[in-house]
Amino acid sequence: MSKYVIVGASAAGIGAVEAIREVDPKGTITVISDEQCPQYSRPMISDLVSGKADFGKMMCREHEFWTEKSVQALTGRTAVSLNLKDKYVELDKGDRVDFEKLLVATGGKPFVPKIEGSDKDGVFTFTTLSDAESLAAKLESAESAVVIGAGLIGVSCTEALVKRGLKVTMVELQDKILSLILDPTASEMVENVIRKAGVTIATGQTVKRIVGKPENDKVVGGAVLTSGEQVPCDLVIIAIGVIPRTELVAGTDVKTNRGILVDKTMCTNVQGVYASGDVAEAYDFVYGENRLLPLWPLAQLEGKVAGYNMAGKKADYPGGTAMSSLKYFGIPVISIGIANPKDPDQYETIVNHEPERSLYKKIVLKDNKIVGITLVNDIEKAGVLFHLLKNGVNVKKLKQELVADDFCLATLPRSLRRKLYPGEYK
Amino acid sequence: MKKIVVKEEHCIGCGLCEVYCTVQHSKSKDIIKAYNRENPRPTSRVTLEVHKPVSFAIQCRHCEDAPCVTACLSGAMKKDEETGEVTHDPEKCIGCWTCIMVCPYGAIKKDSSGKVVSKCDLCAELEVPACVANCPNGALVYKEVKK
């Protein structure tokens, strides 16, 4: 019997372990991960491929992390089923791990559409360390690649491949890259930088077929786009997105939508069973509803909240929202909340766009409150704006100042600062 | 823990805090060399913020529940459980700017190399941080602050 069992040992699992140990130094913790060495930073796999980081640098916790936290780490093991009645997780090879409190932090898996030829040698997904290692092992002999999907994963992978000297074509179904997190202006700014780096970008298209090489049909030789154009390549990387890994709770009483449903304590509808990270639908304070937000910082925070509650310390998840910070191709971009309002009449936007300085700042307002932030190049005060967003501050009198060059904490009236940062004015 | 407390009503906006922070975090620790010869010039980890007539210096507040630590993608940003200090390891930092995105004070900045972030380390080698020691009007105070 282990008091706490955590399935998945990436951001959410790590956050949970740290929180549990803050509260309960002794209760037994068992962590199950199908990866051999799970305590690495997933967002850094592109740095591994590009050569910017080695395996050691990728570790977001030390090798001794599990032992230091007195955790029984069952790594390289898969949780195959869950019995809620008798409270145990069944592992591959039939072992059982009993639990009092369970955290499902199984994360997401890459979405792979059916594409003819996707079984050929040279087709990869890009979410885990082993994906990155397999891809990196192929780079010596590869000259070109097609990346399907121009979201965060696709762009990060593209940058890594360019740094390794490959000729890359990025294929995106939408008519703009990064369309989920950027508005058309910001997207175009990033697109220009990526094109300058030698990348071909094909938007409004996808890959309908992967073909082999003339000398060996089993090895990737090209990708046929929906337009009919055939792009010769040695590698194809599928980077369309991730979907929650909910298999473990399938067929149990745990309620799911697209992901596992949780309350503010990260507990599912089943008492003692929690979920966090990419597998869970947690609260988004901009949308005012629970939804999937597969983002590393949120996963870590959700795991932390789950961990506190599992160990008996009451904690509420404050909520999160879409928030992305991009460093790729040397153009810093931050996007928070709503970038593209669906119904523009209901929103107001404040913009400062100076193309000659490659500067773009956009604030989206609803009823004088910030609900969206986009910053390109000048990003350093993003956190202050985010704090205003989180606190639902009425910014009616500050609108133009929010996008000004000199916007900073001092821009806020003293009375507002006192309210938002009470610790500073004791 | 001991923290830097900002007294904005005493700030005269002179910017000496930035100068001494830059020097303290330079290789030479010499004002002339740091400003004229070190390339790139070391980053000041404190920023003098001015919005006339208001001015004050802002540096990492070493938050109790630090959002930058929870958000850090690489494990570079940590909370020292004993001292309470939020520490940043530039060797681990990958310059993803996620900490910048979540710092409610806007107190983290890009290092002058542009590759990693830079923030206040409370001048680990000094008894009193350089910005505090050299503030001519007592606008920065280093003192024990209750949680």
- pLDDT digits 0-9 by tens, A265-287: 999 999 999 999 999 999 999 99
What are the two backbone dihedrals, phi and then psi, of residue B103, each rounded to the nearest 5 degrees? -75, 115
Does residue A423 surpass a pLDDT of 90?
no
Q: Find the chain B residues whose C-beta atoms sit closer than 8 A to any C-beta of A.
A: 6, 8, 47, 49-51, 54-56, 58, 61, 70-75, 91-92, 94-98, 100-106, 108-110
A154-198 pLDDT per residue, tens: 999 999 999 999 999 999 999 999 999 999 999 999 999 999 999
Q: Tally C-beta pairs within 8 A across A and B.
A: 109
Residue A16 pLDDT greater than 80, yes or no: yes
Q: Which of A65, A62, A70, A63 is nearest to A29 (CA)?
A: A70
A152 close to A129: Cβ distance less than 8 angstroms: no
Answer yes or no: do A410 and B110 touch at CB < 8 A: no
Q: Residue A58 is inside which H or E element, if any?
A: helix A55-58
**Segment holding B22, helix H or strand E:** helix B16-24
Which range has the worst mean pLDDT, A243-247, A252-256, A418-422? A418-422
Q: What local confidence, expressed as pLDDT, does residue A358 receive? A: 95
User: For B105, which residue in chain A has the nearest alpha carbon?
Assistant: A384
Residue B91: C-alpha distances to residues A278, A342, B85 (Å): 28, 42, 18
A424·B6 Cβ contact <8 A: yes
Q: Which residue of B has its CA nearest to A56?
A: B92
Section A9-24 average pLDDT: 97
A44 vs B55, B70, B74: nearest CB: B74
Tell me how far apart the alpha carbons of residues A206 and A46 are, in angstroms, rounded to a whole number: 22
> Under an 8 A CB cutoff, do A408 and B51 touch?
yes
**Closest alpha carbon to B122 in B77, B82, B87:** B87
Instruction: Give residue-wise pLDDT tens across range B43-53.
Output: 999 999 999 99
Flag whether residue A376 sits within 8 Å of chain B, measured between CB atoms: no
Domains within chain A, CATH numbers bracketed: 2-109+243-310 (3.50.50.60), 112-238 (3.50.50.60), 332-425 (3.30.390.30)
Cβ contact A422:B4 at 8 Å:
no
What was the pLDDT predicted at B145? 86
Name the pLDDT band for A426 (thresholds 50, 70, 90).
Answer: low
What's residue A18's pLDDT? 96
Q: Write down all domains in chain B, each with its CATH number in brackets.
A: 1-59+120-141 (3.30.70), 64-117 (3.30.70.20)
Per the prediction, chain A carries an average pLDDT of 96
Give A-chain residues touching B109 at CB under 8 angstroms. 380
Cα separation, A103 vs A416, in Å, equals: 39
Q: Check whether B113 has a pLDDT greater than 70.
A: yes
Residues of A in contact with B102 (CB under 8 A): 297, 323, 383, 386
Backbone angles phi, psi at A406, to 5 degrees: -95, 15
CB A230: neighbour CB atoms within 10 A? Answer: 13
Ranges of beta strands (E only) in A327-422 are 333-337, 348-354, 359-366, 369-376
Quick one: pLDDT at residue A168?
Answer: 98
Token couple for B82? 């004993």
> Contact, A337 vs A371, CB < 8 A?
yes
**Does the CA dihedral A287-A288-A289-A292 come out positive or negative?**
positive
Nearest Cα neighbor of A39 from B74, B96, B89, B70 is B74
Question: The tokens of A81 are what?
Answer: 């089923």
B-proximal residues of A, 238-297, CB under 8 Å: 296-297
Tell me how far apart the alpha carbons of residues A185 and A417 are, in angstroms, rounded to a whole number: 32
Bond into B53 cis (ω within 30): yes
The C-alpha of A154 sits at a distance from chain B's nearest C-alpha, in angstroms, of 16
Q: Is the Cβ pair A297, B110 closer than 8 Å? A: no
Taking only the tens place, the pLDDT of each residue in B64-88 is 999 999 999 999 999 998 999 999 9
In chain A the first and final C-alpha atoms are separated, in Å, by: 48
| Mean predicted confidence (pLDDT) in A76-98 | 96
A41 contacts chain B (CB < 8 A): yes
Closest Cα partner for A8 from A239, A244, A241, A314? Answer: A244
Residue A107 dihedral angles phi and psi, to the nearest 5°? 80, -150
Q: Check pLDDT > 90 for residue A97.
A: yes
Say what the pLDDT of residue B147 is.
60
- Check if A198 contacts B (Cβ < 8 Å): no
Residue A2: the pLDDT is: 74
% of chain A surpassing 90 pLDDT: 97
Residue A397: the pLDDT is 95
Q: What is the β-pairing status of strands A207-212 and A220-225?
A: antiparallel
Q: Work out the average pLDDT over A255-262.
A: 98
Q: What is the mean pLDDT of residues B4-22?
A: 96
Q: Are A164 and A157 in contact (CB under 8 A)?
A: no
Would you say residue B137 has pLDDT above 90?
yes
Side-chain-side CA neighbours of residue A29 (13 Å): 30
8 A C-beta contact, residue A184 and residue A175: no
Length of chain B: 147
State how far the Cα of B58 lies from the Cα of A283, in Å rounded to an integer.
32
CB A12, CB A282: distance < 8 Å: no
How far A227 CA lies from chain B's nearest CA (Å)? 35
Average pLDDT over residues B131-143: 96
